[in-house]
Structure 1
Amino acid sequence: MPMATLYMKLGNGSIPATKPGKRYCLYQDELDKWLETNRKNPVPLTAEEENAAILAGNKRKPNPLNW
């Protein structure tokens, strides 16, 4: 990323940072969290996470007559 783009994103607040004086302070945990949420290719889910997401997204109850 070009330095001008970095400073623009720091200035408008899209990258989490603090500026106590002339310099920006970037915290590792905040930067890692920001990178994970703004990732273009998401990290693939594990099988357990995928099953939980499928079960959470299922809104219909099964019809007891078809059991």
Structure 2
Amino acid sequence: MENLTFEQLPQAMRLLHEKLDRLEQRFEEQNTLQDAETIFNVTQAAAFLHLSVATLYVKTSRREVPFNKQGKRLYFYKAELDEWVRKGRKKTMSEIREEAGQHVLSTKRRT
């Protein structure tokens, strides 16, 4: 490592910051890929979803939750469970009011 002068410190800090940003981005991309490929068994999926195993079995029998089946065993991809939870989001009252207001405005414009 070379000795830096006081005048070189800002540029050295900028380069160091850029390298850290690239490393952080790579790390996040790698974690995202690993999460997408993570496979849970029934017990792990139930714990991840904060459900009992029995409740998870009911949801799979009703085909409410995404799952894979090999023989008699059930498997769950973490990414699919994440997406399933996200799709279940309910709108807030302010979001519903805003959509209603937008609908009323767009209806008035047509008439």
Name the residue aligned to 2:109: 61
**CA–CA distance in 2 between the matches of 1:23 and 1:11?**
13
| 1:42 CA displacement | 4.7
Which amino acid is 2:66 matched to?
P
Q: Determine which structure has the larger helix proportion and give its number.
A: 2
Question: Equivalent residues in 2 for 1:1-67 (5 A)?
Answer: 1-39=51-89, 41-42=90-91, 57=103, 58-61=106-109
**CA–CA distance in 1 between the matches of 2:108 and 2:79?**
39
**CA–CA distance in 2 between the matches of 1:6 and 1:37?**
17
Q: What TM-score does the superposition give when structure 2 sets the normalisation length?
A: 0.37
**Aligned residues: CA RMSD:** 2.9
Q: Determine which structure has the larger strand proportion and give its number.
A: 2
User: How many residues of Structure 1 are paired with residues of Structure 2 in the alignment?
Assistant: 54
**CA–CA distance in 1 between the matches of 2:78 and 2:52?**
20
Q: Deviations over 1:9-66 (max 9, x none)?
A: 1122111101121211111222111101113x558xxxxxxx9x675x333328xxxx
Structure number with higher relative contact order (C-alpha < 8 Å, ≥ 6 residues apart): 2
Q: Percent identity?
A: 31
Provide the secondary structure at the position in 2 that maps to 1:59.
helix
